[in-house]
Amino acid sequence: MEESLQYYQLEKVQMIRNNKAQSMITIMLLLMILGVVVTLIVSSTLTDTRKLLVQKSYERAYSLSEQYLTKLVQGNVLGAGDDVVNGVLVGNTDANTCSLNPDTVTNDYTPSIVASCNGVGISSGSIVNCTRTTEIFGKSLKIQTDEPVNIDYSKLTLSYDAIDSANPKIYLRYKNADAVQITYKYEETVAGITSPKSVSFIISTNNAYTGAVNIPSTLTTPSSSQTLVDIVNKSGNTVINTLASTVLSTSVDATLNSIQGTGLIDFYIDVKKLASNVKITNDHYAKSVQIKFLGSVPVNGSPSIVDFAIHNEGFDQINQKELAFQFHKFKCDAFDSAYDNTEYGGNTSSKGFGSARLEAFVPINKALPDFFDYSLFVGGGKGGNSVNGYPVIINK
């Protein structure tokens, strides 16, 4: 009996010890779980905070870039001297003055102009660096229907012999338009009398306009007006051509591919064949090719916004720059507290994470359109994605 009692007591002690051990294990597990939960909450909070800081820094850099780009495009001040650039760019009383390279007065065809402004915006470490370059193309453009784009040949004498030698072509890709109206303006001297002249025709792929030219422009008599045939296909000189039958250069391909999506239409205009078809004599001088997108406008509605890209190819970019270069590209890089002012330009590590780049293409020989588009790139500082940026979506 005594042995049974002792065994019972030992067993009871063992159960108590086991219960205590289980309780300790349970408490430790609860503490571990609580620790994991707290860690996750803290980590999530820190991550969300960092994301917010990064986003806000990007937005500040974006705002700086947009502000300065808009001023440059509207005022085209990168063709002016330091005093004009400073007057337009420096809008903050705390901002340092901007430096311009070159610092002399330039013209529309100066290849590249750079302006750097340090200490702008809300931080002394913020920087804006802007450039304006001449281009033979315009990428990712937006324009209203019925608002013409003018390829201007009037700033340099362009005789038929020069056209024949250069063999210029205008490549075009667009969407959100029913048709395109092409107007070729020129001047000829016949029997000693010089007269301004023009021819015009409409290109459409969906029969939206009666009598419009298809792509390619293979009109023949008697199915169409002989006058129209003489403009677009006289003696087999096809003026409007498909891109499928053409080997595109890398530059042309990159320009046209800036327009993406469905419903894309593209072709190229053979300016040499157009001039050849309409000229009476070789005393023929081209003035311009006007391109106007057409589209129906609903009652009490607004005109459509057309996305397009255009590439003007064929002219000598050194000796015929007034003919070759038809667009300005404005680009502004903005850094939100990315560097100390004294370190900008050096090979230093980033002190911040907010940077943005905006680009805009504007025709040289035309007032600013109601709409112009720019592409946004963001990144992590100098030497990184601020230069070789990647596109992101930030609502404008």
Q: Is residue 20 part of a domain?
A: no
* 219 & 319 share domain: yes
- The confidence score (pLDDT) of residue 346 equals 42
Residues 59, 354: Cα–Cα separation, whole Å: 8
Q: Are 394 and 62 in contact (CB under 8 A)?
A: yes
pLDDT band, very low/low/confident/very high, at 287 (cuts 50, 70, 90): very high
% pLDDT > 90, the chain: 24
Sheet holding 327-336, edge to edge: 98-101, 112-118, 127-135, 327-336, 354-363, 374-379, 390-391
- CB within 8 Å of 119: residues ≥ 6 apart: 94, 95, 96, 125, 126, 127, 341
Range with top average pLDDT, 33-47, 204-218, 281-295, 333-347: 281-295
% pLDDT > 70, the chain: 68
* 346 & 245 share domain: no
DSSP secondary structure code for residue 375 in this structure: E
Residues 158, 154: Cα–Cα separation, whole Å: 8
Q: Is residue 291 part of a domain?
A: yes
Three-state SS for 109-151 is CCCEEEEEEECCCCCCCCEEEEEEEEECEEEEEEEECCCCEEE
pLDDT band, very low/low/confident/very high, at 67 (cuts 50, 70, 90): confident
- The confidence score (pLDDT) of residue 222 equals 56
Q: Is residue 40 part of a domain?
A: no
* 240 & 294 share domain: yes
Which has the closest alpha carbon to 237: 265, 269, 261, 199? 269
Q: What is the mean pLDDT of the chain?
A: 76
Residue 196 preceded by cis peptide, ω within 30: no
**Residue that wins the pLDDT comparison between 394 and 6:** 6
Mean pLDDT for the stretch of residues 266-288: 93
pTM over 0.85: no
pLDDT band, very low/low/confident/very high, at 169 (cuts 50, 70, 90): very high
* 192 & 276 share domain: yes
Question: pLDDT tens for residues 7-53?
Answer: 555 555 555 555 555 666 666 766 676 665 555 554 555 445 555 65
Q: Is residue 49 part of a domain?
A: no
pLDDT band, very low/low/confident/very high, at 273 (cuts 50, 70, 90): very high
- The confidence score (pLDDT) of residue 6 equals 53
Beta strands at 193-203 and 98-101: parallel, antiparallel or unpaired: unpaired
Q: Are 362 and 73 in contact (CB under 8 A)?
A: yes
- The confidence score (pLDDT) of residue 71 equals 80
* 153 & 298 share domain: yes
* 188 & 266 share domain: yes
Among 290, 324, 358, the domain-final residue is 324
Query: How many other CB atoms are there within 10 angstroms of residue 157's CB atom?
Result: 11
Among 265, 300, 324, the domain-final residue is 324
Residues 311, 172: Cα–Cα separation, whole Å: 7
Q: Is residue 9 part of a domain?
A: no
Query: What total of structural domains would you count in the chain?
Result: 2
Question: pLDDT tens for residues 343-372?
Answer: 444 434 444 556 778 888 888 876 555 555
Among 302, 324, 346, the domain-final residue is 324
Residue 216 preceded by cis peptide, ω within 30: yes
- The confidence score (pLDDT) of residue 342 equals 47
Residues 42, 80: Cα–Cα separation, whole Å: 53
Q: Is residue 26 part of a domain?
A: no
- The confidence score (pLDDT) of residue 375 equals 58
Q: Is residue 46 part of a domain?
A: no
* 174 & 310 share domain: yes
Residues 256, 245: Cα–Cα separation, whole Å: 16
- The confidence score (pLDDT) of residue 33 equals 63
* 220 & 280 share domain: yes
pLDDT surpasses 60 at 96: yes
* 219 & 99 share domain: no
Residues 130, 89: Cα–Cα separation, whole Å: 10
Q: Is residue 35 part of a domain?
A: no
* 166 & 92 share domain: no
Q: Are 134 and 327 in contact (CB under 8 A)?
A: yes
| Six-digit token string for 272 | 């040499």
- Opening angle at CA 388, ends 243 and 373, nearest 5: 55
Mean pLDDT for the stretch of residues 218-237: 79
- The confidence score (pLDDT) of residue 349 equals 44
* Domain of residue 154, residue span: 145-324
Q: Which residues of 120-152 are buried (b: 16+ CB within 10 A; e: fewer)?
A: bbebebbbbbbbbbbbbbbbbbebbbeeebbbb
Range of weakest confidence among 25-29, 109-113, 230-234, 236-240: 25-29
- The confidence score (pLDDT) of residue 164 equals 94
pLDDT surpasses 70 at 55: no
* 161 & 205 share domain: yes
Residues 202, 180: Cα–Cα separation, whole Å: 6
- CB within 8 Å of 260: residues ≥ 6 apart: none
Q: Give Cα separations from 143 to 8, 42, 184, 297 (angstroms).
A: 95, 49, 20, 14
Residue indicated by tokens 């509207």? 74
Residue indicated by tokens 């499928």? 244
* 223 & 305 share domain: yes
